[in-house]
Structure 1
Amino acid sequence: MSLKSQAEQLLKYLVLSDPVVPYISIPAGVLASKLVYDLTDLISGVYFKSYSNLSRIQRVEWNNRAMSTVHAIFITAAALYMVFLSDLYSDRYFGPITFRSSTISTFGLGVSVGYFITDLVMILWFYPAIGGMEYVIHHLLSLLAVAYAMLTGEGQLYTYMVLISETTTPGINLRWYLDTAGMKKSKAYLINGIVIFFAWLVARILLFMYLFYHVYLHLNQDQAGGVRLVDEVCVSSIDVRKRF
Structure 2
Amino acid sequence: MTMTAYTYQAQAMMRDYLLADPLVPYTSVLIGVVLCKMTYDLTRVLSSFYFKGYSSLTKIQRIEWNNRGMSSAHAIFITAISLYLVVTTDLFSDRIKGPITFRSSIISTSALGVSVGYFITDLAMIFWAYPSLGGMEYVLHHTISLVAIAYTMLSGEGQFYTYMILISESTTPEINMRWFLDTAGLKKSSAYLVNGIMIFVVWLVARIFLFLYVFYHIYLHYSQVVQMHLFGYYLVLTVPSVLFVMNAVWFSKILKGVKKTLSKWS
Alpha-carbon distance in structure 2 between the residues aligned to 1:231 and 1:120: 21
Residue 200 of structure 1 corresponds to which residue in structure 2?
Answer: 203
Deviation at 1:237, TM superposition (A): 4.8
Q: Structure 2 unaligned segments of length 5 or more: list them.
A: 1-19, 255-266
What residue number does 2:238 align with?
231
Q: 1:171-190 maps to which residues of 2 (within 5 A)?
A: 171-190=174-193
Give per-residue Cα distances to partners, 1:89-126, cap 9 Å, x unaligned.
11121211011111111001100000000001111111
- 1:58-77 to structure 2, matched below 5 A, reads 58-77=61-80
Superposed, 1:57-96 pairs within 5 Å as 57-96=60-99
My pick for the range that moved more, 222-231 or 106-115, is: 222-231
Deviation string, structure 1 residues 131-156 (Cα, Å, up to 9, x no partner): 22221111111110110110111110
Change (3 A) 1:30 1:177: same
Query: Which residues of structure 1 form unaligned runs of 5+?
Result: 1-16
RMSD (CA atoms): 1.9
Shift, 1:227, TM fit: 4.2
Change (3 A) 1:22 1:119: same
C-alpha contact (below 8 Å) 2:211/2:240 kept by paired residues:
no
Number of aligned pairs?
228
Distance (whole Å) between structure 2 residues aligned to residue 142 and residue 182 of structure 1 = 33
What amino acid is the match of 2:55?
A: S
Corresponding residue of 2:261:
none
Query: Could you tell which deviates more after superposition, 234-243 or 36-45?
Result: 234-243
Separation of aligned partners in 2, 1:222 and 1:184: 46
Q: What is the letter of the counterpart of residue 167 of structure 2?
A: I
Query: 139, 142, 148: which one pairs with 1:139?
Result: 142
* 2: CA distance, partners of 1:34 / 1:100: 31
Partner of 1:103: 106
Q: Are 2:26 and 1:20 equivalent residues in the alignment? A: no
Identity of aligned residues (%): 62
8 Å CA contact 2:218, 2:225 repeated in 1: no
Per-residue deviation, residues 36-80 of structure 1 (Å, max 9, x unmatched): 000111111111011111000000000000000000000000110
Q: CA deviation at 1:224?
A: 4.0
Between 44-53 and 221-230, the greater mean CA deviation after superposition: 221-230
Deviating more after overlay: 171-180 vs 39-48: 39-48
Match for residue 223 of structure 2 among 205, 220, 227? 220
Task: Check if 1:167 corresponds to 2:152.
Answer: no
Q: Distance in 1 between matches of 2:243 and 2:103?
A: 18
The C-alpha deviation readout for 1:144-195, integer Å capped at 9, x for no partner, is: 0110110111110000000000011000000000000000000000011111
Segments ≥4 residues shifted beyond 6 Å: 240-244
User: How has the CA–CA distance of structure 1 residues 232 and 131 changed in structure 2, closer, same or farther, with 3 Å as cutoff?
Assistant: closer
CA distance in 1, matches of 2:246, 2:32: 21
> Is residue 72–residue 166 contact of structure 1 (8 Å, CA) maintained in 2?
yes
